[in-house]
C-alpha cells in the first residue's frame, strides 16, 4: 500500500530548490514511474502533455522532470518520495481523455498539464469529478473558479490570456505605436477569444485594423492569410508554434519579414524548439508569463543554464512554469498538512509560494483560483530572448474578462 504523510505530521520542505548540485536521477517515461520501494511514502504527480505527434510539448515535460528529480536527489520531502507518472495526450482530445482516465485509475495525487484549449476542454471535468487537484497550464481556457471548467480543485498556473493581452496592448500602444495592424490566429477558442481582445482597445486607441483572418490548426498554407496582412505596421498572430513557424516562413517569402509579428508564448517555443531559422526571428515578439533566459534574477539565470546543459534546449516560459508547478504542489501539500489530493487542493487555495521560483516572482491563488498575474514581452532576434517589457501583478490583476 502506498502511504501518504499524515495530517499534522511535521515535514521539511526539502525540495532541492537551490540551484547548486542539480545532479539528475533517472525518471519515469510514458506512463511509467520512478516508484519508491513498497512501503515507502510517495507523492504521486501526474504529468499530462503531448509527447508524440506533430505538436509535442517537451519544454513542459522537461520542466516537470527536472523538479521531480531535484526533489528526490535531495532526499525527498522528509522521507516522502515524489513519483512522476507521465501521460501522453498527443494534443488530441480523445487521447487526452484516455490519458486522464488512466491517471485517475492510477490514483495520482495531483495533475500538472494541459497547455492548450484542446487538452483542457477534453479533460477538466474528469479531474473535477475525481476530486484530483488540477494545476492547469493553459492561459486561454475557462478554468477559473467562476468559469465553465472551473472547480474547487482546479487552478490556473499561468497568467490568464485576457491579462496577458492587456499587457501586450499597452506595449503596442506605448512603444510600437503602429498605425495599421493586421490580426490573424487559430480558428479555435485560443485565437477566436484573443483577436477581439486586441481589436477593441487598439481601434479605440486610433489604430486601423487592416484585416482579420482565422485559419485551422495545422494548416499547410498561409499565403492568403499573409497577403491579407499587407499594409500592416504590426501583425498580431495568435497561433500554436507550428502554425506560427509557418507564418514566419511565409512572411519572409512575401517580403513581409520586416513587419513585427507579435504572438503568444508560442513565440518562445518557436525559438526554443528551433522551428525556424533564427534569421526569420528578427521581428518576432512574444507575450508570455515569463522568460527565464532574460530574467535578471541570478538564481533563474543559473537554473536556465543548468536546464540547457541537461536537455540541450533553451529554457523558456513553459519549462520554467512547469518546474515551478511541481514545487508549488509540494508547497501546497505542506500548507494543507498532507500530500493526498484533498490536502493539496486545500493548500493550493491558501499557500503563498515565492521561494526560488523560476517563472513568476510569486504564486498565490486569488478568489478565482488564478495563481499568477505577471507577463513579459520578449523579442527573439538571433535566437537570443531579450526582455522588452514586463508587467507585474499590480498592472494586470483584474484586467480582462471571463473566458467562458
Residue 73's pLDDT is what? 95
Pairing of strands 352-353, 363-364: antiparallel
> Which of 1-15, 253-267, 372-386 is the least confident region?
1-15
Q: Helix %, strand %, coil % for the chain, to 5?
A: 40, 20, 45
Give the integer Cα–Cα distance in Å for 209 and 203: 7
* Percentage, residues of the chain above pLDDT 70: 90
Mean of pLDDT values over 215-243: 96
Q: Which pTM was predicted?
A: 0.88
Vertex 159: Cα angle to 154 and 165 (nearest 5): 135
Across 83-87, 162-166, 317-321, 334-338, least confident range: 334-338
Which pLDDT does position 337 carry in this prediction? 86
Q: At 218, list the grid cell.
A: 495545422
Q: Given this model, what pLDDT does residue 25 score? A: 33
Cβ proximity of 143 and 114 under 8 Å: no
The pLDDT assigned to 228 comes to 98
Mean pLDDT over each residue of the chain, to the nearest integer:
90
The pLDDT score that the predictor gives to residue 225 is 98
Q: Residue written as cell 515535460?
A: 61
Helix axes 117-130, 189-204, angle to 10 degrees: 110
pLDDT at 89 over 50: yes
- Domains belonging to the chain, first-starting first, are 41-159+294-372 (3.40.50.2300), 162-288+377-396 (3.40.50.2300)
> Tell me, what's the pLDDT at 55?
85
Percent of the chain with pLDDT over 90: 84
Convert the pLDDT of each residue in 117-141 to its tens digit: 999 999 999 999 999 999 999 999 9
Which pLDDT value is given to residue 17? 41
On whether the CB atoms of residues 164 and 139 are closer than 8 A, the answer is: yes
- Closest among 78, 73, 135, 127 to 100, alpha carbons compared: 127
Helix (H) or strand (E) run with residue 255 in it: none
Instruction: Report d(CA 112, CA 52) in Å as an integer.
Output: 18
Burial class (CB in 10 A: 0-12, 13-18, 19+), 356: middle
What is the number of other CB atoms lying within 10 angstroms of the CB of residue 277?
11
Predicted local distance difference test score (pLDDT) of residue 36: 35
Q: What does the pLDDT read at residue 53?
A: 83
Confidence bin at 27 (pLDDT 50/70/90): very low
Query: If you search the block for the grid coordinates 510517495, which residue do you land on?
Result: 42
Q: Pick the closest to residue 128 from 105, 107, 104 (CA basis).
A: 104
Cell of 26: 533517472
Q: What pLDDT is stored for residue 54 in this prediction?
A: 80
The reported pLDDT for the residue numbered 78 is: 86
Report d(CA 202, CA 367) in Å as an integer: 30
Residue 18: which pLDDT band, with cuts at 50, 70 and 90?
very low
Alpha carbons 179 and 234: distance in angstroms, whole number: 8
Give the tens place of pLDDT for each residue, 377-403: 999 999 999 999 999 999 999 897 788
Q: Region 99-107: what's the mean pLDDT?
A: 98
How does pLDDT run across 275-286, given as a tens digit for each residue? 999 999 999 999
Amino acid at each position: 500500500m502506498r502511504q501518504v504523510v499524515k495530517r499534522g505530521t511535521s515535514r521539511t520542505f526539502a525540495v532541492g530548490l537551490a540551484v547548486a548540485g542539480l545532479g539528475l536521477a533517472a525518471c519515469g517515461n510514458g506512463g511509467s514511474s520512478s516508484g519508491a520501494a513498497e512501503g515507502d511514502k510517495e507523492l504521486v504527480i501526474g504529468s499530462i502533455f503531448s509527447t508524440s505527434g506533430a505538436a509535442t510539448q517537451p519544454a513542459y515535460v522537461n520542466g516537470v522532470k527536472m523538479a521531480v528529480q531535484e526533489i528526490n536527489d535531495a532526499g525527498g520531502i522528509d522521507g516522502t518520495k515524489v513519483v512522476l507518472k507521465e501521460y501522453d495526450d498527443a494534443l488530441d482530445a480523445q487521447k487526452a481523455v484516455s490519458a486522464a482516465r488512466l491517471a485517475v485509475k492510477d490514483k495520482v495525487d495531483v495533475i500538472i498539464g494541459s497547455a492548450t484549449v484542446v487538452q483542457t476542454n477534453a479533460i477538466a471535468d474528469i479531474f473535477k469529478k475525481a476530486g484530483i487537484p488540477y494545476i492547469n497550464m493553459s492561459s486561454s481556457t475557462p478554468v477559473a473558479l467562476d468559469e465553465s471548467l472551473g472547480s474547487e480543485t482546479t487552478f490556473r498556473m499561468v497568467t490568464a490570456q485576457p491579462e496577458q493581452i492587456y499587457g501586450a496592448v499597452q506595449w503596442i500602444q506605448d512603444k510600437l505605436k503602429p498605425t495599421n495592424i493586421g490580426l490573424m490566429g487559430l480558428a479555435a477558442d485560443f485565437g477566436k477569444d484573443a483577436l477581439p481582445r486586441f481589436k477593441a482597445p487598439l481601434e479605440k486607441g486610433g489604430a486601423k485594423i487592416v484585416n482579420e483572418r482565422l485559419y485551422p490548426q495545422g494548416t499547410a498554407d498561409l499565403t492568403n492569410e499573409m497577403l491579407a496582412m499587407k499594409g500592416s505596421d504590426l501583425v498580431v498572430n495568435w497561433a500554436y508554434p507550428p502554425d506560427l513557424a509557418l507564418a514566419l516562413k511565409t512572411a519572409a517569402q512575401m517580403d513581409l519579414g520586416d513587419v513585427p509579428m507579435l504572438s503568444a508564448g508560442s513565440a518562445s517555443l518557436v525559438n526554443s524548439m528551433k522551428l525556424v531559422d533564427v534569421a526569420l526571428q528578427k521581428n518576432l515578439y512574444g507575450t508570455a508569463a515569463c522568460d527565464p533566459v532574460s530574467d535578471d534574477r541570478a538564481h533563474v539565470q543559473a537554473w536556465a543554464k543548468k536546464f540547457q546543459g541537461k536537455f540541450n534546449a533553451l529554457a523558456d516560459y513553459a519549462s520554467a512554469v512547469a518546474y515551478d508547478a511541481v514545487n508549488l504542489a509540494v508547497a501546497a501539500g505542506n500548507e494543507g498538512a498532507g500530500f493526498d489530493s484533498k490536502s493539496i487542493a486545500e493548500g493550493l487555495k491558501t499557500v503563498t509560494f515565492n521561494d526560488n521560483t523560476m517563472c513568476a516572482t510569486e504564486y498565490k491563488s486569488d478568489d478565482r483560483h488564478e495563481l499568477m498575474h505577471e507577463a513579459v514581452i520578449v523579442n527573439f532576434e538571433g535566437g537570443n530572448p531579450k526582455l522588452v517589457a514586463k508587467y507585474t501583478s499590480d498592472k494586470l490583476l483584474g484586467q480582462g474578462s471571463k473566458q467562458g
